[in-house]
Structure 1
Amino acid sequence: MATKHEQILQHILSLQIGSKISVRQIAKELNVSDGTAYRAIKEAENQGIVSTIERVGTIRIEKKKKDNFEELTFAEVVNIIDGQVLGGRDGLHKTLRKFVIGAMQLDAIKRYTQADSLLIVGNRLEVHRFALEAGAAVLITGGFDTDDSVKQLANEKQLPIISTSYDTYTVAAMINRAIYDQLIKKEIVFVGDIATPFESAYYLTTKQQVKDWYINNEVSSHTRFPVVDDRMKVVGMVSSRDIVGKEQGTFVDRIMSRKPIVVQEKTSLASVAHMMVWEGIELVPVVDESQILKGVVSRQDVLKAMQQIQRQPQVGETIEDIVATNMSEVPSEDGLFEAHVIPQMTNHLGTLSHGVFTALIAEACEKMMKIEKDAEISIENITVYFSKPVPIDSMLYIKPTLLDVGRLYAKIDIEVMHEQTIVGRSLIMAQLINR
């Protein structure tokens, strides 16, 4: 019989995607205490089947597959950017396929906006309305609100319209970082991702005999099987070593090894692989918190997963990566770098974000020091003492000049030009490493 905790999780799984969940509601419907309901909801959140949003509540969401980890739900985006949902709450469970920076004319926005995408834009009502009509959710930066008719449209389309106090660059960086973090998690393979599920696993019950071990061995080619009681709780293991010299009619509970090594679905691949090598075993039962059998993981499962990881490409691009890829050294000018201002680098006004400006000068200084002094630097202080707005699609020229360099420290002056005009100046103090 399932525990109350398991019953609550099964109930949550049976709810429709997008359903709202509360501790009081669960406690009342399943006749459990508020504490039991709260713990089960937290476990459901850890499993990725619900998401809790401030000022909205907890909602049932679709659990992402392992190969779909680079995508986020709109509910997760709200939490990431500390946003406020203005409308379209019924669509928070939907998956974000891509996000688009709306720092351009409406005609250009139309070319990039697609269904299930997220348009990041400022207080432009016509763009909000167009995005919703095109099937895209809207994230309004700068803390701005929108028109009531737009909120009503969001409710009708079941597409979230969200407001955040952050600027466009910061929001894009936060979402990028969240995707990058999930890609890192994607590389951490857990037992639950590779295990043979209960329905396909071979096991023995305490009432079965040695002859049943031979039947399982012939079908599965395994030599080690978990033994379960009438509640499907793992109580032992039977291996080829245990059955040597035993009669075919001997009950397995008399010869099994008790207190077996088990793992849970959240055990990492690295951990179970080390365990198998250290203990010299070929198969480990996968159990839940109540020791109920959920499946098995074999040495073959582990080897396949490790081979797959080696073939998996390493992907994920942060805003810093974008800055680095959009900057290059000008061939004809020593120590001069150029950078193209693309939409991801702009704020809600469509001009170069201060955060990106800082990233650009830092990247230029690091490149210059590597070329001129063959040294890596760790920036300790950046002082920006002049800055002008730089529009989107501008080509910037960045000139770092080494003012002073010692054994440990360097002082660098940076000049940023656009169309022969100085648009920024900065002074950097950096520590030299690996010189």
Structure 2
Amino acid sequence: MEVAAVSINGGDAVQKSEKLLHYIESLDVGTRISVRQIATSQKVSAGTAYRAVKTAQTRGLVATIDRVGTVRTDPRPRSTSAQLTFADLVRVIDGRVLGGSEGLDKPLDKFVIGAMKTSAMGHYISRNSLLIVGNREDAQALALESGAAVLITGGFDTTSAVMSLANRSALPIITTSHDTFTVATMINRALSDQAIRRDILTVASLYTPRSEASFLQLPATVGDYRKLARTTQHSEIPVISVSGRVVGVANADTVLERKDSAPLERAMERHPAVVKTGESVATVNHLMQGRGLKLVPVVDDAGLLIGVLTRATVLAQLQETPATEHLPATIADQLEATLSSVAPLPGGTAAYRVATAPIMTNKFGALNVGVLNGLITSATSRYLRSTGRQNVLVDNITLTTLRPIQLSARVTIGLNILDLTRHVATFDIDITADDVVAAKALLTCQLLERN
């Protein structure tokens, strides 16, 4: 793949690094790159090229794949629409790429096991699918011609003609030493895990990129802050060094009573809280709630500013419940479905009856402790939602079991409020089996609500 070279001449180290990153970003996804190639085409030293590649890796612009090398990747793969790619598949099955490496970033939609005659395969093979087959060159060629990648099991190789076809089609042909049943099981598990990850909101799916965010660079003054703050919807503004590293956050309190000519470096909060793109939105919301933050800078592994995330954006997403999207039931959903509300004991706040099932027990026939923890969390969350508190994050749960809870027992979870404020709730919990206390728990949780 030909890419026009952009020559870099002069400038300081920071400008040179940024220009190298722009060059890497201009490459098509799937393009192989190397330190030597960048150093030669951009007329920089190998050390400068190496540092640029490492920075690009932390920003998600490139990735190193075993037996393939370093390739240009999508910079924002960890979003709510992320899919399993053929590059992910290579890692999952410990495979080796024989050809078509430029197609490794393509998504894997489904896989087909080639246990049929070639004449019957065409009906099942579709674009962006994967054909799992042995050393059958005719089937491998048919898959590539139909727009599908190929996985060869049993450690077999293929012919040079098939590898050439894979390269021309930009479709991976991969080999693995595992048998067909084993790789099918591994891929099924990977697809399932990816579906769960897709439903977990991360910072990557919500943050505002640096190109659209407000920030100040040293040496800036308090006057610069006040001028910029008048154009933004929030008073918190990240402050970065000349190299782009986050060194502080300025807000209305830190600049209070400061003259416009005062250096901003002396009127900002040093060592501010920062987050990275892979962190979950629930975790970030907990951080912002606990520290009273309305904005946090988003940084890469080197501490360079890549964007910002506001608390308003986080809370809007957490409180949004899609009506049209049907997500697979989680373990927590399944546990909560077993609860039914019953009348609380005198002095109690709420109580829930548990419909136990054999899958909830350990090998001795008693209710599993982990399941019991989940049931307590589900009961507490259901009660708080009934009071209008929709977003609950459990901070700590301490469980003391007094006696085993048998499968046949009538189990009730009784909640007693010890403390309930705008942001925190603490419960004393009694778990009874056939009206006898079998366990006690103390649970503390955060209530993630709008201001």
State the shift of 1:300 in Å: 0.6
Instruction: Rate the CA distance shift 1:39–1:309 in 2: closer, same or farther, 3 A.
Output: farther
* Residues 65 and 266 of structure 1, relative CA distance in 2, 3 Å threshold: closer
CA contact (8 A) 1:97 1:116 kept: yes
Q: Which residue of 1 is the match for residue 445 of structure 2?
A: none
Structure 2 counterpart of 1:300, from 298, 306, 312: 312
Paired letter, 2:146? A
Structure 1 residues 204, 20: closer, same or farther in 2, change over 3 A? closer
CA distance in 1, matches of 2:360, 2:269: 60
CA separation of 1:234 and 1:98: change in aligned 2, threshold 3 A: same
Name the residue aligned to 1:340: none
Alpha carbons 1:210, 1:252 under 8 Å: kept: yes
Correspondence 1:177 to 2:189: yes
Q: Which residue of 2 aligns with 1:57?
A: 69
CA deviation map 1:112-155 (0-9, x unaligned) = 21122211122333322221221212112222334444334333
C-alpha distance 170-9 of structure 1, shift in aligned 2 (>3 A): farther
Equivalent residue number for residue 145 of structure 1:
157
Question: What is the rounded CA distance, in whole Å, between the counterparts of 2:102 and 2:261 in structure 1?
Answer: 59
2:130 is aligned, of 118, 128, 148, to: 118
Aligned mates of 2:186, 2:406 — CA distance in 1 = 31
Is the 2:154–2:176 Cα contact (8 Å) retained in structure 1?
A: yes
In structure 2, what is the Cα distance between the partners aligned to 1:234 and 1:191? 17
Instruction: Choose from 68, 71, 80 the match for 2:84.
Output: 71
Which among 94, 109, 119 is matched to residue 82 of structure 1? 94
Matched-pair contact (CA < 8 Å) for 1:238–1:252:
no
What do the CA deviations read for 1:194-234 (whole angstroms, capped 9, x no partner)? 22222322345667776765654554331332345666655
Q: d(CA) in 1 for partners of 2:321 and 2:223? A: 39
> Separation in 1 of the partners of 2:137 and 2:101?
19
SS at the partner of 2:286? helix
Residues 39 and 241 (structure 1), Cα distance of their counterparts in 2 relative to 1, 3 Å cut = closer
The 1:107/1:280 distance shift into structure 2, 3 A limit, reads same
CA pair 45-169 structure 1, distance change in 2 beyond 3 A: farther
Contact 1:206 1:251 in 2 (8 A): no
- 2:143 aligned residue (107, 131, 144): 131
Does the aligned pair in 1 maintain the 2:80–2:201 contact within 8 Å?
Answer: no
Q: Give the secondary-structure state (helix, strand or coil) at the position aligned to 1:79.
A: helix
**TM-score (normalised: structure 2):** 0.59
Whole-angstrom CA distance in 1 between matches of 2:112 and 2:91: 19
CA contact (8 A) 1:113 1:131 kept: yes
Aligned residue among 284, 289, 297 for 1:272: 284
2:219 and 2:163 map into 1 onto residues whose CA distance is 63
Q: Unaligned stretches of 5+ in structure 2? A: 1-12, 331-355, 367-404, 408-451
Q: Which has a greater percent of helix?
A: 1
Q: Which amino acid aligns with 2:84?
A: E
**1:11-410 superposed matches below 5 A:** 11-26=23-38, 31-33=44-46, 41=53, 44-45=56-57, 47-63=59-75, 64=77, 66-72=79-85, 74-204=86-216, 216-228=228-240, 234-244=246-256, 249=260, 251=262, 253=264, 256-266=267-277, 268=279, 269-288=281-300, 292-308=304-320, 314-315=327-328, 376=361
Judging changes above 3 Å, is the alpha-carbon distance between structure 1 residues 114 and 200 closer, same or farther for their aligned structure 2 residues? same
CA distance in 2, matches of 1:13, 1:22: 14
Alpha-carbon deviation of 1:4?
A: 6.8
Partners of 1:236 and 1:256 within 8 A in 2: no
Following the alignment from structure 2 to structure 1, what is the Cα–Cα distance between the partners of residues 239 and 202?
A: 23
Length-normalised TM-score, structure 1: 0.61
SS at match of 1:301: helix
Tell me the distance in 2 between the aligned counterparts of 1:118 and 1:228: 46
Please give the alpha-carbon distance, in whole angstroms, between the structure 2 residues aligned to 1:32 and 1:96. Answer: 38
Please tell me whether the aligned partners of residues 206 and 227 of structure 1 are also in contact (alpha carbons under 8 angstroms).
yes
CA apart distance, 1:261: 0.9
Question: 1:162 Cα shift?
Answer: 2.2
CA gap 1:186/1:211 in 2 versus in 1, 3 angstroms? same
Q: Taking structure 1 as reference, are residues 104 and 226 closer, same or farther at Cα in structure 2, changes over 3 Å only? A: same
Aligned sequence identity (%): 41
| Greater RCO, 1 or 2 (C-alpha within 8 Å, sep 6+) | 1
Contact 2:220 2:265 in 1 (8 A): no
Q: In structure 2, give the amino acid aligned to 1:186.
A: R
Summarize the Cα distance change of 1:242–1:258 in structure 2 as closer, same or farther, 3 Å threshold.
closer
The CA deviation string for residues 70-91 of structure 1, in whole angstroms up to 9 with x for no partner, is 231x233223222233333443
Q: Is the 8 A contact 1:204 1:228 kept in 2?
A: yes
Residue in 1 that maps onto 2:420: none
The alpha-carbon deviation at position 259 of structure 1 amounts to 0.9
Aligned AA (1:109): M
Post-superposition shift, 1:173? 1.9
Letter in 1 for 2:79: K
Give 1:70's aligned amino acid.
Answer: Q
Match of 1:266, SS? coil
**Count of aligned pairs between the two proteins:** 329
Superposition deviation, residue 5 in structure 1: 6.2
CA contact (8 A) 1:123 1:140 kept: yes
Secondary structure in structure 2 of the residue aligned to 1:276: helix
